[in-house]
Structure 1
Amino acid sequence: MDRPEIPLPQLHAFVVLAEELHFGHAAARLGIAQPPLSQQIRRLEDKVGHALFSRTPGRVALTPAGRELLPAARGALTELSDGLAAARAVGSGRAGRLRIGFAASLALTVLPGLLRTFRQQFPDVHLDIHEMTTAPQLTALHDKVLDIGLLREPPDDETELSFRTVLSEPFVAVLPSTHRLAAQRTVDPAQLADDPFVLLPRAVGPRLYDRITGLCTEAGFTPRIAQHAVEWQTVCALVEAGLGVSLAPASIRRIRLKGVAFRSTHPGTARTRVAVAWRSADRNPLVTHLTTAISQKPTAGP
């Protein structure tokens, strides 16, 4: 048997009358005349199949059926009110879930401050954070698995994604502390021509990989890559173990390993770009809130 659909105005009228137990007072509270209120109650009683109120001159009281309905009616109205409030909060970008991807090295620079500021402004937004290298982030953004990406060296030929630069930082040489060049304050990439290199695989960040190998090419040599590692933490650990040297974004210096020396590169004009990325057609207000929380001006890194 199908359940009768009960319009919410009828439930609202029922709850108000149950609280007031006076048609005149209930009608005034609802902002309507008494006859429409009486009609609402009669229609509801017709759907229930039983009287909800006993009416005697000068007195209105709930019947047993009315007392049974009242908690459910209040619950339905509360649930609707809560749902409307939640929908308004999500629609305005004050609540909801934001899925963010980030390159691991950015946990050392822009990520903590950005998330802290965003959380202070929008405490009811759930942040779903995923550590991912650049190429997987781009795929996840296209596949709508991520809403926001924080990545290095975004592509120039992307048509469906938008990018905003949030950080520009130089490269540093990553050397074993016992390396012959560790005593220098700056290192010319040309001085590393005979050393084996430890680098991230090109597949996880093609443009960053090309930027680093391009620095070597400009210095007159092709790097001899002895080992690949997916994360910069691992790159530094392999350098510490003596498997080679590397060129890396300057923020990597915040990885503290006793056996690793970080030295500025010469010339110091080459920089790597960090950007926030999002789908250009995305109208999620949370995405707008986060992207506008990031300064419009590129930030120079260390």
Structure 2
Amino acid sequence: MLPRLNLHHLAVLETLAETGTLTATAARLGVTQSAVSHRLREAERRLGAPLTRRGAGGRLNLTPEGERLRDFAARSLGELARIEREIAAERAGDRRLVRLGQATYSRYHWLPDFLSFLATHEPDLTVDLSGQATARPFASLAEGAVDVVTVYGRPSALPRLRWYLLGADPLVAAMAPTHRLAAAEIVDSHAVAGDRLFSYPISAEPGFEWETLIGRPNAPMRNVTQMPTPEAVIDLLRAGFGVGLFSRWAVEPEVKDGTLVTRPVGEEDVALDWWAVMRESDPEDGPAGRLARGLLQWSEGYRNPLARLGFETG
């Protein structure tokens, strides 16, 4: 049975979710407003369900049914565009596109240095970044949304994955220089028990929860506030509102500019292993394998960048 909707319907829903108006959607898609209105009404008629509703200020918002279709549209249209670019590049003998995702942290201060390295060692690779892997790294690999992800933790028992160890990085407590714990020798769960601890969802994948990675806290955490992104936590920490747990390299820019300080979370460093992970079915000499090996080579020795960011390489 063929789907009732086609790519034109999906494009309208994805664009309308961003613009909120038929006029702006038409302009973005390069069609008339009447064409957008017709596609929207046609999609609703074919499904027998409303896909939009009028919101504040006249904005068109998607209904729950429309949101479900929009989520699918974002994945499928993005994947289709990627395949089209890859085919066109391969036919033209041009650079090969490979998609990189990073679990947990949407922080890429390391990326310019790595891309400079890659341009020298793998000049025919072009790297696209995918934010989809931040919360779902392994699912994104399985779905084909990314080709390589960087993750920290322990190698998963999930099948059909190939792992490359990039290095180890200490887990630290981060806070403003004026925070009461900024001069403490250790900021463990006892020290922070009466303070506000900001956290964020490190992964939706099983086995990558904080307690799995570092063990249960030795004192109960009574004031834990979960934030949607690490960047949101960093903004609050810089303003002096509490303490956050980070891989040390992730807050390296703020430590450098003096807006945050970091303290150990135990008498011995709690180190997190960082990995580059790709699908086992992808050849090691293909674009994904070359990107993963590039990350490994860069982390192992090229001007020692990970050591400069606080990693213990080797």
Q: Secondary structure at the match of 1:170?
A: strand
Report the CA distance shift for 1:122/1:280 in structure 2 as closer, same or farther (over 3 A): same
Give 1 or 2: higher strand fraction.
1
Q: What's the counterpart of residue 292 of structure 1?
A: 293
CA contact (8 A) 2:198 2:242 kept: yes
RMSD value, Cα: 3.3
Relative to structure 2, which stretch is displaced further, 255-264 or 194-203?
Answer: 255-264
Q: What's the counterpart of residue 113 of structure 2?
A: 113
Report the CA distance shift for 1:107/1:125 in structure 2 as closer, same or farther (over 3 A): same
Report the CA distance shift for 1:162/1:213 in structure 2 as closer, same or farther (over 3 A): closer
| Stretches of structure 2 lacking an aligned partner (at least 5 in a row) | 1-86, 301-305
Report the CA distance shift for 1:258/1:292 in structure 2 as closer, same or farther (over 3 A): closer
Shift, 1:280, TM fit: 0.2
Q: What's the counterpart of residue 250 of structure 1?
A: 248
The code of the aligned residue for 1:112 comes to P
Give 1:52-201 correspondences, 5 Å limit. 86=90, 89=93, 95-103=95-103, 104=105, 107-109=108-110, 111-132=111-132, 134-153=134-153, 156-201=156-201
Shift, 1:88, TM fit: 9.5
CA contact (8 A) 2:189 2:221 kept: no
Shift, 1:288, TM fit: 2.1
Cα distance in 2 between the residues matched to 1:149 and 1:281: 15
Give 1:16-35 correspondences, 5 Å limit. none
Shift, 1:143, TM fit: 0.6
Q: What's the counterpart of residue 63 of structure 1?
A: none
The code of the aligned residue for 1:97 comes to L
Shift, 1:207, TM fit: 4.5
Q: Please, what TM-score do these two structures have when normalized by structure 1?
A: 0.59
Shift, 1:281, TM fit: 0.6
Cα distance in 2 between the residues matched to 1:181 and 1:213: 24
The code of the aligned residue for 1:98 comes to V
Shift, 1:87, TM fit: 5.1
Cα distance in 2 between the residues matched to 1:186 and 1:166: 27
Report the CA distance shift for 1:156/1:205 in structure 2 as closer, same or farther (over 3 A): closer
Report the CA distance shift for 1:202/1:148 in structure 2 as closer, same or farther (over 3 A): closer
CA contact (8 A) 1:200 1:230 kept: yes
Cα distance in 1 between the residues matched to 2:138 and 2:293: 20
Shift, 1:168, TM fit: 0.8
Cα distance in 2 between the residues matched to 1:289 and 1:213: 29
Q: What's the counterpart of residue 236 of structure 2?
A: 238
The code of the aligned residue for 2:222 comes to R
Cα distance in 1 between the residues matched to 2:287 and 2:138: 19
Shift, 1:160, TM fit: 1.8
Cα distance in 2 between the residues matched to 1:211 and 1:269: 16
CA contact (8 A) 2:194 2:223 kept: no
| Stretches of structure 1 lacking an aligned partner (at least 5 in a row) | 1-82
What is the CA deviation profile of residues 94-116 of structure 1, one whole-angstrom value per residue up to 9, with x for unaligned ones? x321111124366234x433322
Q: How many pairs are equivalent?
A: 213
Larger radius of gyration between Structure 1 and Structure 2: 1
Cα distance in 2 between the residues matched to 1:209 and 1:122: 35
Q: Secondary structure at the match of 2:242?
A: coil
Cα distance in 2 between the residues matched to 1:168 and 1:265: 16
Q: Secondary structure at the match of 1:183?
A: coil
CA contact (8 A) 1:133 1:205 kept: no
The code of the aligned residue for 1:281 comes to S
Shift, 1:211, TM fit: 4.4
The code of the aligned residue for 1:229 comes to M
Q: Please, what TM-score do these two structures have when normalized by structure 2?
A: 0.57
Report the CA distance shift for 1:205/1:105 in structure 2 as closer, same or farther (over 3 A): farther
The code of the aligned residue for 1:116 comes to S
Cα distance in 2 between the residues matched to 1:139 and 1:179: 38
